[in-house]
A and B are shown apart, each in its own frame.
Chain A
């Protein structure tokens, strides 16, 4: 609406947008959890919440700025959020040498093999069906 005193509205509007965005994330998460529990679905509630929010954003037509800012901040802090779980890796004691060898091989060789295969497949598919806008490799 035009004619509002702009400076004060902008400050409170920004904080309000952040709060509304955070509330939306929590609400979508709770809705996902509720859906998961009430239908006894095998999918984590947070993932259902993500799908619900994506659906909501598609219906709404755009991403509200407050939601975009809160989401960006949260995703930038992802490493902090899973720090406690990652730290637990140093406190694992009941693994056998075979377990460690398997883990190491699976992560290093498995990741590289999978990267190579995926890249070659996508390259072939893009060349055949893609828009062709990409640079020639």
Chain B
């Protein structure tokens, strides 16, 4: 293989536009198709992975060239404080039920996941990645570093759970007689994270606010306790 071309293709000045183009392509596909199954992250990662295979770029080179995006993840987690602060008045009114459900859900979501995988004989790294299931991706990534889980596996699980929950969750809850927008939003925020929050925003603003709240709180809770458990 010639030296200069791979070096050029693996350079941040090529990789970053590739990421942005993939993201815009994913967004376009999502809006065109109108199905939650094709959430932007699904289409975008397919487009980027296809380009990497087609151009023969190593994933490791691509990953290190995408450093600028990784650097923004920290501030994005910090930014979750803003919707939390803005929704504080609504939280207070239903504080007790929300707190109990949050604590139960934050334990239940990863526990059911890890339990099922354990029954089916999955290995340690998979179990570690599953334990971060109930948090939104940027927080899951930060936790994955702490508990030693593979980051792409962690993100894949979070994204896939998000798609499953966002697509099937609302109709499942309606069938259970729990169609209250506060319930649908909060439960989607716990179990389907950012993708569920996006879906909840499509249902109503109130639903979206409860989803953002649950996503932020559940992430903070898991982020505090999961590394403690893993370290014990």
Contacts and interface: CB of A to CB of B under 8 A. Distances in A.
A111 B192 contact: yes
A121 B107 CA distance: 14
A112 to B, nearest CB: 6
A119 B19 contact: no
B79 A80 contact: no
A126 B165 CA distance: 22
Contacts of B72: 74, 77, 81
A83 B23 contact: yes
B156 to A, nearest CB: 4
A102 interface: yes
A47 B217 CA distance: 11
A19 interface: no
Interface residues of B, number: 112
B13 interface: no
B126 A114 contact: no
A74 B152 contact: no
A126 B182 contact: yes
Nearest to B226: A42
Interface string B216-232: 10011001100110010
A22 to B, nearest CB: 8
Residue among B22, B44, B75 with the highest chain A CB neighbour number at 10 A: B75
A78 B99 CA distance: 26
B152 A102 contact: no
A14 interface: no
A45 B75 CA distance: 10
A128 to B, nearest CB: 8
Contacts of B223: 43-44, 47
Interface string A97-137: 01101110111111111111111111101101111011101
24 contacts: A32-B78, A49-B74, A49-B78, A78-B136, A80-B69, A86-B152, A90-B46, A102-B117, A102-B121, A103-B130, A106-B157, A107-B157, A110-B113, A111-B113, A111-B165, A115-B191, A116-B172, A118-B187, A119-B173, A122-B98, A122-B178, A125-B96, A130-B94, A135-B180
